[in-house]
Amino acid sequence: MTVEKNVSLKSHNTFGIDAKATSYCNISTVEELKSILKKQHQNPFFILGGGSNMLLTKDIEALVLHINLKGIKVVNETDDKVVIQAMAGENWHDFVLWCLDKNYGGIENLSLIPGNVGTAPIQNIGAYGVELKDIFVSCEAINVENQTLRVFTKEDCQFDYRESVFKQKLKGKYIITSVNFELTKTNHNLHMDYGAIKEQLSASGVKKPTITDISEAVIAIRQSKLPDPKEIGNSGSFFKNPIVSKEKFEKLQENFPKVPFYKISEDSIKVPAGWLIEKAGFKGKRFNDYGVHNKQALVLVNYGSAKGKDIYNLALLIKKTIKRIFDIEIETEVNII
């Protein structure tokens, strides 16, 4: 375990922002993590996972601990179901492919989401009708203060739309080291309600889809809408879709009859932030080396050497404009550092 000084984080965040870390350390075992926390926990440190959900607006004046714990194993199995433990540093999509290769179902709609296994529960990643919480069993995490290991059940995690206890009450207090998932071995419960999945499957002529067909459909949809971070820096959806009251929604619908929406409950309605941002005229707008993606307005992009601050200021401008035009507050999904 070596500590490097003055390290660029450009290749460690999917936005491709060239911020520096005062020092940086690659962690590949739980023991290394415990021992460095024991020495370090009074001094500033910063936990880095896949770097796929953050915008670095400044240098990190702390020791960056890059969680690189690896390993995937079956921990329990019946005729129909399997429980798999994946270590926090496993790349999320590689893990999805590992499961598909073994014909383990339930995770296929979450194909091609950037990031690592250990950060997936923090924001309860979700796409195309499935959220991480639907397949989550438990996770193990280290308490940064006393370095003890705690098991969190699904209930403990308090999952919600792009939310968990790790983003709220326990923010910065635990480091997730591994996650257990329950998947199906037979009789897979396919999630194809999302219109785009149905369209994609019928365009590919698939009549009786397998979990691999669904994964391939999701990959095709994502590739057609979302920029590949290897080519254009981005963090996926920059904002959360706002949830508004029925009353506010009805006012919005009066002025914009075509607004898409998803009903959450009798009194709450989710409105796609991408639609609001597009209507506000930002879709595809480019300012120097940063801007709003031209195929999905929810995604802010770095075309090369943009500064995190520039992207953050653009996000503030978008937020303010949405409030002015629609009287709706949108919140960032990405962590602003």
- Just list the catalytic residues: 162, 237, 333
Choice from 37, 56, 99, 297 touching ligand EPU (CB under 6 A): 297
Q: Convert residues 28-67 into a mask of x (bound to ligand EPU by CB under 6 A) and - (unbound).
A: ----------------------------------------
Terminal alpha carbon distance of the chain: 25
CB of 213: closest distance to ligand EPU in angstroms? 17
Determine the Cα–Cα distance for residues 75 and 319; give it in Å rounded to an integer.
45
Choice from 68, 111, 237, 332 touching ligand EPU (CB under 6 A): 237
Q: Convert residues 151-180 into a mask of x (bound to ligand EPU by CB under 6 A) and - (unbound).
A: ------------------------------
Contact set for ligand EPU, span 135-154 (CB under 6 A): none
Interaction between residue 275 and ligand EPU (CB under 6 A): yes
C-alpha 10 chain-centroid distance: 19
Choice from 96, 127, 183, 280 touching ligand EPU (CB under 6 A): 127
Contact set for ligand EPU, span 242-271 (CB under 6 A): 260
Interaction between residue 319 and ligand EPU (CB under 6 A): no
Determine the Cα–Cα distance for residues 228 and 213; give it in Å rounded to an integer.
21
Which spans of this chain sit near ligand EPU (rule: CB under 6 A)? Answer: 127-128, 225-226, 236-237, 240-241, 260, 272, 274-275, 278, 283, 296-298, 333
